[in-house]
Every structure is written in C-alpha cells, then in structure tokens.
C-alpha cells in the first residue's frame, strides 16, 4: 500500500497515523440507541497498531482526485479525537469540555463533502459553527424569562424553541436515513435530522446555557428508544442510579453518528435481516463462480448488482450505497478505537474494492484483536455466522494472493473515483 492516511502525523493513544508521501422529557429515560450501554454492549476498546495505514485518500490521489480538503477535514477530526481520554469518553455530552462535538461532526461532513462533490472550496466549518452558536444566543434572547424558573419550565421552553419555533424534527424515514439528516451542516440548514444530530444540537444549547451560569441544576438528554421520538431533557436529580447508566456520552454519540453514516452508505442493502457485514461477506461468496450453485438467483443478482455499482460509482440512491463514504466512516470508527469489529467491516469493504492484501491485513488484525482482548463473550448464531464468514474470506484472500500474485486491479479507478454525479 502506498502512503498513509494524513498529510501530518497524529498521536491517538497508541494509534500513530503515518504521514502520507505528500500528495498534492421523561424523568426516567429508557435505554436508547444513543446510550453508552447499548452502543458497545459486551465490547472492549482496542488499540490499533502504530503502523496501521488506511486506503481511501491514497487510492483517490492515485487516480487524480484532489484530496487536499478531505485530508484537512480528517486532520481536524483526528485533532478532536486525540483529546478523548478514557474518562472523557464516558463523560456526558452536556458537560464534556474536551472534544468539541459540533466541530467534530462538521469535520466529518466536510470530509465526505469533499469526497463526493466537485467543489473547489471546502465546506465552511466555521460558518456552521457560528450558526450553531447563534441557535443558543437566539434561545437566550427569546426565553430569558425562563431562567430562574422551575427546571421543568426551563426544559419546556427549550423544547418549544427547538421543535416548534425553529422547526427541527426527526427524519420520518425508518428503513433508511436521509442523507441530509446525518450531516450536521445539512440539519442546521434543512432542520430535519437523525436522532444523533438532534441530540448534538440540543446538547450544544444546554452546554452554552450552563457555561453562562444561567441554570443551577443538572440536566441530561433522554434519547427515545423508538423510531419517531425526539431527544428531550430531564432533570438528573430525579433519576435513579440505574438511569445514570444510560446517559448519552461523548463516545456513544460519536459512535452513533459514524455508524449512521456507515449503515446509510453501506453498499449491500438488499437483505435487511442480516447484518451489514454478513451481507457483504455473502456478496463476496457469490462473486465466485464456483459458489453460484449454492446460492439462489436473487443472491447472485444482488452480488453482481452491488459489484457493478461499486466498479462504476453509480450514485442514484442511498439504497445502493456509496463505497467512498462507507470507507471513510469505517476509517474514522477505527480511529475512534471503540470496537474491533470495525476492522472486520473495513476489511470486507476493501475486498470488494479489490484491495486484497490490505483486506487480508485488516481481517487478520481483527482476529488477532479478538483473541487478545478480554471481553464478555456472547455466544449467538449471528456471531458464529460472522466469525465463520471472516475465516472463509481469509482463506479466499490467501488463495487470490497466491494465484498470480494479484495486486490492485485497474477497476479501482472506477470504483472509487470515476463518479460524475455526486448526488
């Protein structure tokens, strides 16, 4: 693999990113998808090797795509993530003083915007930060009378401001998130957002109010455990010790933001009854002609359609995925070092892009990490299917690399770069 991830090195715990060779209101909230408990159940943090390198930016550079703005945005993302200590990871998003979640989300949006647009200028991160700050200022000017009132009245006024006066609402899409609902700059513009984006905006207003000393009680955010509810505030003193376990933390919010992106742009969307990894692994199995006899016509057609879209960069709908944004989400999740399964998911995407050597590296690293990490093992049929699929992919990759010493195919240029229509 040529080069590394960034144009300058960052130290993230034990994670050293190599520089590239300079290419130009509920009082008792339920467990929710955003809680730290639900996001990383029975998992443990992993430490990536110091010499670990990513593929996306260098692959685009080698095909004539200018990644300057994408790399700058990735550096901005890394500059925030390197502030995450083990304590700050578990800190509530309302009081976290380390990572600037608004900036982090906008750096994510800026990188993806650069990857899929033809713009000659970067996404104006500072302008959207100002817009986010303006929301807080406007609330304070409109509802200054609510300060000093009861906590319940304060929260009622804040939610009336956010969801009525400003018209922010959660996306109506259930099966697939709308693209504009999972990027902060789009949510600030269109006022339709995912659960994670609305939680972030809500928390930024609360943090500003707390910083100015306008409230003297502890507030947290309850994220609804359904497909239509919006984030609500609750008074921390009214909750039980059990409820405190489900506070939205900095890490759980970042995980939710990045996994929303990965799921939305994952190229294999046909069979929602299987995990994204299993869908991709089965598509890899179908791509082998010798395996066609064991697969149904629908599965074979799905695999061929996915491969066709990856190779030609067809953009028609999020339903058919976007390999570049799926890869960028996976890379950022690995940088976050929250769950070793991200190594596995990144590896299977690299397989479909034709990066066989790199795919094998990540899949083996996943296996090694699983063996060395002490976690509470959960034995279930899905986990067993995934582990079996990993083993089969590794066998297949070893055979591919042994046969004729295959390297990256020329089709990589079309799978990652040759996209004329960004939306």
Phi, psi (5° rounding) for residue 280?
-70, -40
CA atoms of 71 and 74, how far apart (whole Å)? 5
Residue 263 lies in a domain: no
CA atoms of 84 and 332, how far apart (whole Å)? 14
Residue 238 lies in a domain: yes
Residue 327 lies in a domain: no
As a whole-number percent, the residues of the chain with pLDDT over 70 amount to 70
Task: Say if residue 23's pLDDT is above 70.
Answer: no
Average pLDDT over residues 196-215: 89
Residues 353 and 402 in one domain: yes
Residue 330 lies in a domain: no
CA atoms of 136 and 131, how far apart (whole Å)? 9
Residues 296 and 237 in one domain: no
Residue 161 lies in a domain: yes
Domain count, the chain: 2
Residue 103 lies in a domain: yes
> Do 254 and 332 touch, CB atoms closer than 8 A?
no
Residues 91 and 145 in one domain: yes
Confidence of residue 288 (pLDDT cuts 50, 70, 90): very low
Residues 155 and 111 in one domain: yes
CA atoms of 326 and 346, how far apart (whole Å)? 9
CA atoms of 39 and 201, how far apart (whole Å)? 20
Q: Which of 234, 256, 278 is the last residue of a domain?
A: 256
Q: Does the reported pTM lie above 0.95?
A: no
Residues 250 and 275 in one domain: no
CA atoms of 135 and 138, how far apart (whole Å)? 5
Average pLDDT over residues 74-79: 96
Residues 203 and 162 in one domain: yes
What pLDDT, on the 0 to 100 scale, is given for residue 410?
46
Residues 346 and 229 in one domain: no
What pLDDT, on the 0 to 100 scale, is given for residue 19?
32
Residue 325 lies in a domain: no
Average pLDDT over residues 81-106: 85
> Do 103 and 123 touch, CB atoms closer than 8 A?
no
Range(s) of the domain holding residue 69:
10-256
What pLDDT, on the 0 to 100 scale, is given for residue 135?
94
Residues 92 and 200 in one domain: yes
What pLDDT, on the 0 to 100 scale, is given for residue 42?
39
Query: What mean pLDDT is reported for the chain?
Result: 76
Q: Which of 228, 256, 284 is the last residue of a domain?
A: 256
What pLDDT, on the 0 to 100 scale, is given for residue 33?
53
Residues 94 and 221 in one domain: yes
Residues 246 and 273 in one domain: no
Reported as a single tens digit per residue, the pLDDT across 382-403 is 888 889 999 999 999 998 888 7
Residues 77 and 116 in one domain: yes
Residues 289 and 212 in one domain: no
Average pLDDT over residues 72-77: 97
Reported as a single tens digit per residue, the pLDDT across 134-188 is 999 999 888 877 777 788 888 999 999 999 999 999 986 644 557 889 999 999 9
CA atoms of 99 and 209, how far apart (whole Å)? 18
Residue 401 lies in a domain: yes
Task: Say if residue 298's pLDDT is above 80.
Answer: no
> Do 352 and 266 touch, CB atoms closer than 8 A?
no
Q: Which of 214, 231, 256 is the last residue of a domain?
A: 256
Average pLDDT over residues 291-307: 51
């Amino acid at each position: 693999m040529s080069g590394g991830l960034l144009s300058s090195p960052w130290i993230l715990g034990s994670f050293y990113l190599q520089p590239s060779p300079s290419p130009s209101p509920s009082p008792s909230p339920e467990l929710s998808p955003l809680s730290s408990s639900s996001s990383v159940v029975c998992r443990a943090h992993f430490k990536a090797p110091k010499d670990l390198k990513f593929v996306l930016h260098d692959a685009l550079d080698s095909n004539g795509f200018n990644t300057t703005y994408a790399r700058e945005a990735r550096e901005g993302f890394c500059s925030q993530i390197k502030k995450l200590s083990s304590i700050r990871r578990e800190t509530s998003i309302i009081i976290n003083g380390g990572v600037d979640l608004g900036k982090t989300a906008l750096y994510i949006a800026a990188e993806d915007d650069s990857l899929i647009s033809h713009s000659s200028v970067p996404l104006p991160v500072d302008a959207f930060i100002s817009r986010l700050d303006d929301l807080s200022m406007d609330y304070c000017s409109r509802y200054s009378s609510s300060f000093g009132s009861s906590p319940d009245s304060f929260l009622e006024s804040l939610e009336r401001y956010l969801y009525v006066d400003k018209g922010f609402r959660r996306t109506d899409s259930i099966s697939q998130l709308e693209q504009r609902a999972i990027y902060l700059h789009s949510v600030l513009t269109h006022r339709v957002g995912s659960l994670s984006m609305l939680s972030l905006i809500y928390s930024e207003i609360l943090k500003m109010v707390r910083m100015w000393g306008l409230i003297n009680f502890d507030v947290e955010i309850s994220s609804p455990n359904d497909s239509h509810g919006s984030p609500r505030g609750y008074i921390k003193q009214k909750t039980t010790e059990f409820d405190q376990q489900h506070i939205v933390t900095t890490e759980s919010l970042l995980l939710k933001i990045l996994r929303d992106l990965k799921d939305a742009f994952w190229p294999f969307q046909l069979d929602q009854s299987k995990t994204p990894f299993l869908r991709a692994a089965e598509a890899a199995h179908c791509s082998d002609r010798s395996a066609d006899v064991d697969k149904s016509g629908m599965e074979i057609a799905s695999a061929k359609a996915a491969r066709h879209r990856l190779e030609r960069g067809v953009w028609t709908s999020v339903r058919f995925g976007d390999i570049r944004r799926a890869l960028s989400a996976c890379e950022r999740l690995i940088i976050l070092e929250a769950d070793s399964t991200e190594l596995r998911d990144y590896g299977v995407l690299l397989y479909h892009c034709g990066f066989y050597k790199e795919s094998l590296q990540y899949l083996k690293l996943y296996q090694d990490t699983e063996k060395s990490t002490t976690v509470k093992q959960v034995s279930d049929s899905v986990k067993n299917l995934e582990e079996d699929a990993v083993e089969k992919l590794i066998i297949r990759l070893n055979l591919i690399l042994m046969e004729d010493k295959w390297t990256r195919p020329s089709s990589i240029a079309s799978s990652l770069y040759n996209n004329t229509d960004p939306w």
